[in-house]
Amino acid sequence: MNAVAPLLPWLGGALLVSGVAVAVSRRRELLHRWCAWAVGVPLVTGAFWLGPPGVAALAVLAALIAVPEYGGLLGLPVPDRLAIAAGVAAIVLATWLAPEQLPRVAAAAALAVVAVPLVAGDAEGGLHRAAGGLFGLAWLGVLAGMVPLGAQALVLFVAVSLGDIAAYFAGRHLGGPLLSPLSPAKRWSGTLAGAAAGLGVLVALSGFDWAAAVAVAVGGPAGDLLESMVKRGARSKDAGNWIPGSGGLLDRIDSLLVALAVLLVLR
């Protein structure tokens, strides 16, 4: 049986229940977010259903969308963004087709990213471009981890996403101390509630182990704060504005990226 098949009833049920709750609330913001989920969840699930080729294609597509958003936040020139996107795509494809060559491909991608401002002779902003490019390559290159993880990555995505939603509502209603100066809207109450919700999702989807638990409870909130740090440095509220109620893709997958990194390290 396809490893994604057992998840389908849970994903469909979650969409249905959340849709009813959103309709009852009559809040336009929540309706916009639910519509984005109603489109995105079937697309993502379909990609995972296809196995490694579908997951690799999804990861490359996500990189091609997220890299321009990241480059826009840092003010990186187009050549730098192209180098980062090509590097992330190469890392994803190597993870799928030639994992034994992954260290070599990753090193070549890093050299290419640094070479762009070097060849341009940018004495004033070259260091910023090189450092921003390498950080973006490392940050978004984690998308390649979805290929070997397969359905486990989908479970992680669901757990982190629902944890984010629980954290948002709990933080607004419970209040309490701030989680970090990086994000004035984040509260410890919301973070703890989100972690509990995410762990509950792992248990329900038979994806619970200590590595996944740490990835969801620690990696998820850390990923959110990491993007907040980048956005605050760029004096921007969102990485994009094309996803209703969510900003850009980077705003949607920030928690997943660090959660993936934590899970890959621990396993």
3-state secondary structure of 131: helix
Give the C-alpha separation, 48 to 4, whole Å.
7
List all residues 6 or more positions away from 179 whose beta carbon is below 8 Å from its beta carbon: 186, 187, 188, 190, 191, 221, 225
Per-residue exposure over 141-169, b if at least 16 CB sit within 10 Å of its own CB, e if not: bbbbbbbebebbbbbbbbbbbbbbbbbbe
Count of C-beta atoms within a 10 Å radius of residue 126: 15
List all residues 6 or more positions away from 193 whose beta carbon is below 8 Å from its beta carbon: 166, 167, 169, 170, 171, 174
Question: Under a CB-based contact definition with an 8 Å cutoff, are residues 250 and 195 in contact?
Answer: no
- The neighbouring-strand residues paired with 187 are 178
Domain ranges within the chain, ordered by starting residue: 54-148, 150-267
Question: Under a CB-based contact definition with an 8 Å cutoff, are residues 251 and 243 in contact?
Answer: yes
Give the C-alpha separation, 169 to 254, whole Å.
18
3-state secondary structure of 187: strand
pLDDT value of position 108: 98
pLDDT value of position 48: 96
pLDDT value of position 239: 92
Angle between helices 102-120 and 78-97 (to 10 degrees): 170
Question: Under a CB-based contact definition with an 8 Å cutoff, are residues 109 and 137 in contact?
Answer: yes
Q: Which of 153, 137, 133 is nearest to 58 (CA)?
A: 153
Give the C-alpha separation, 148 to 139, whole Å.
17
pLDDT value of position 2: 82
Measured CA distances, 86 to 44, 135, 236 (Å): 22, 14, 25
Tens digit of each residue's pLDDT, the chain (267 residues): 588 988 888 888 888 877 887 788 777 877 887 888 888 999 999 999 999 999 999 999 999 999 999 999 999 999 999 999 999 999 999 999 999 999 999 999 999 999 999 999 999 999 999 999 999 999 999 999 999 999 999 999 999 988 998 898 898 889 899 999 998 888 999 999 999 999 999 999 999 999 999 999 999 999 999 999 999 999 998 998 888 777 899 999 999 999 999 999 998
pLDDT value of position 1: 58
Question: Under a CB-based contact definition with an 8 Å cutoff, are residues 27 and 46 in contact?
Answer: no
N residues, the chain:
267
**Cα 10 to chain center, whole Å?**
21
